[in-house]
Structure 1
Amino acid sequence: MSIYFSSQGVGHDVVLLHGWALHGGVWQRVAEALADQYCVHLPDLPGHGRSAAVAEFMLDDVVERLHHSFPLPVQVVGWSLGGLIAAHWARRYPRHVKSLTLVASSPCFIRQPDWPHAQAAEAVNQLAQQLDQQFETTIQRFLALQTLGSDSAKTTLAALRELVFAHGRPSGLLAALQLLQNTDYRPHLADITVPTLVLAGARDALTPLAAAQTWADGVADGRLQVFPQASHAPFLSHETEFLQALRPFLAEHV
C-alpha cells in the first residue's frame, strides 16, 4: 500500500515527516521556505491525512513504504513520532539517507524505570481518548500551545488550523500510539551513522531536553541545537530560528 505525499520545489530531495495525529500539511510553511533550493516532500504517515490506516503501525513496515516512495538519496527531517521513524530509516538505509534531522523527538516516548524523560503511559492514553472524543478541539488546543512565543502566533495559528483539518480525521491513531508505547530505541542509537542534527525546545514537556541530548550523544555523528523559548514544535513557534538552524545543515550534506 502506497503512502500519500505532496511535493514542491526543485533540487536535492528533502522529506519532512510529521508527528502523531497530524499530517504532512503541518510542514507547509517550512516546505515553502525550502522549496527555492530543494525538492521537498510531505508524506502522510499511514493512518494519517490521506494515507490509509494499517492494522499494525510498525517501524520496519513504515520505513519500507517510505523507502519505496522515495527511491533516490534523501535528507530526512522528522518531528516527534516522525523523528523516531526518520531515525529508523537512517539506521536501516544509511547509504540512502544523506542526513537526519530530529525535531522535538525522543528515542523512548513512555516513562521507564531508568528513563524519567518522558510521559507516563496513563497520560498518553488520556490524550488518545480526548482525540477520539473531541478531535478538533484537542488539536486546536495543541496547536495553540505550540505557537506560543512566536511573533506571528495568531497568523501562524490561523493558517495551521486551516491546513491541519484539510485532510479530515486521521484513522490510524491507536496503531501509531501503540508504536510509541512499545518502542524503546535507546539500544540502537549507536547504529545510526549518518550526520544527525537534533533540534529541541527547552520548554518541551512532551519530549524533554534530556531526550534530545540522548539522541545527540548516542548517535555516531550528532549535534544538538536548543531553542530556549520553544516547546514541542519549534518549527511552528520559532519558524525563522528553526530555518536558520536547518538550512546550513541541509546545505552541508547535499
Structure 2
Amino acid sequence: MNNIHVRIFGNGPNLVLLHGWGMHSSIWTSVHERLAQYFCLHLIDLPGHGFSSSVQTDTLDKLEAITEAIAKILPADSIVCGWSLGGQVAIELALRESQRVKKLILVSTTPHFVQCKDWLLGMEFSVLELFTRNLKLDYKNTLDKFLVLQAKGSGNTRKVLRQLRASVLRETESNIVGLQAGLQILLSTDLRKKIKYIHQPVILVHGENDFIVNLGAAQWMHEQLQDSVLISLSCCGHAPFLSHPDDFIASVMRTIQV
C-alpha cells in the first residue's frame, strides 16, 4: 500500500500544494501560514519524497503513477497549485479529475522539460541525464548544483538558496531511488498535446530569470490554454514563492477574487 503524507490546516477553499523534484512539502513554509488564513491547505509530499512512501519501482518513473496516488487523497472542489514537477502532476490531475480540480496554479512549470527539435524551451537532455547518473555517485553535490540553478536569477539568491537547502531531501537509499525516478519523469514526460484540453481557469506564475524552466514555456502554455492568466515576475528565478512571497500570495489570492 502506498502512503501519501499530507498536512491539512487552515480554513477556506481547498488549496492543494505540490512541491518540485528533490524537495518535500516544507518548502512552502515561507508562505503557508499566510495562505492558511484564506484557504484550507493540503501540503502533500509527492511519492518517494518526504514522508510519502514510493510507489512500485517499476511504475514510479511514470507520471500517471504519481497522479493516481495523489488523486486518492484529493479533496473536492480543489485549487491545485504545483511547482515545477508538481506542476506537471497538477496538469495531469486537472485532466484526470476534472470534477474535483476547479482551478490550477502552475508555478515555474513546463509541459516538457527536455529540449528537442520542435521544443527549444527545454533543458538539454544531456544535462538531466548527467544529474541522473551523478545522484548515486555524489548525492550531495549533485543535488546542490540543482539548487544553485533554482536560486539563480533571484534578486536575493543567497537567501533563496538557504531556504531550498533547508527543504532538500537527505541522502538515503529510498530518497535516491525516488529522485532518480523523478528525473526519469522529467526526461520522459511530454504534456504538450494535452494542454489545450484543460478547461479549468489557470494562473501561470513564472520568474523572468528562471534558469530551470524557460519563461517561454509558460508563455506557450498561456497561448494554448482556454482560460489562463500569465504572471511573470522580474528579478525572479525558479522559486517565486521564496524570492517573491508577496507576489506569489497575491497570485494565489486571485483564485478567490474572481
1:117 CA drift (Å): 0.4
Q: TM-score, normalised by structure 1?
A: 0.89
Q: Over aligned residues, Cα RMSD in angstroms?
A: 2.2
Retained in 2: the 8 A contact 1:77–1:103? Answer: yes
Please give the residue correspondences for 1:213-224 in structure 2 after superposition, counting only pairs within 5 Å: 213-224=219-230
Q: Which amino acid aligns with 1:110?
A: V
Q: TM-score, normalised by structure 2?
A: 0.88
Work out the CA distance in 2 between the residues paired with 1:160 and 1:113. Answer: 32
1:159 CA drift (Å): 4.8
Classify the secondary structure of the residue corresponding to 2:168: helix
1:163 CA drift (Å): 3.6
Retained in 2: the 8 A contact 1:19–1:82? Answer: yes
Retained in 2: the 8 A contact 1:8–1:31? Answer: no
Q: Which runs of 5+ in 2 are unaligned?
A: none
Q: Which runs of 5+ in 1 are unaligned?
A: none
Work out the CA distance in 2 between the residues paired with 1:217 and 1:146. Answer: 25
Aligned length: 251
* Change in CA separation of 1:222 and 1:192 when aligned onto 2, cut-off 3 Å: same
* Change in CA separation of 1:141 and 1:124 when aligned onto 2, cut-off 3 Å: closer
Report the identity percentage. 34
Of 203, 206, 212, which aligns to 1:200? 206
Retained in 2: the 8 A contact 1:197–1:224? Answer: yes
Retained in 1: the 8 A contact 2:77–2:100? Answer: yes
Q: Which amino acid aligns with 1:71?
A: P
Matched, 1:180 2:174: no
Q: Deviations over 1:84-115 (max 9, x none)?
A: 11011011122211110001110010011110
Of 78, 87, 92, which aligns to 2:91? 87
Work out the CA distance in 2 between the residues paired with 1:12 and 1:167. Answer: 36
Cross-structure match for 2:255 = 250
* Change in CA separation of 1:45 and 1:165 when aligned onto 2, cut-off 3 Å: closer
Matched, 1:3 2:8: no
Matched, 1:63 2:71: no
Q: Deviations over 1:128-186 (max 9, x none)?
A: 234333333444454455446455x6556545433435796724112222222112111
Retained in 2: the 8 A contact 1:2–1:69? Answer: no
1:6 CA drift (Å): 1.5
* Change in CA separation of 1:130 and 1:27 when aligned onto 2, cut-off 3 Å: farther
Retained in 2: the 8 A contact 1:90–1:100? Answer: yes
Q: Which amino acid aligns with 1:105?
A: T
Retained in 2: the 8 A contact 1:102–1:197? Answer: yes
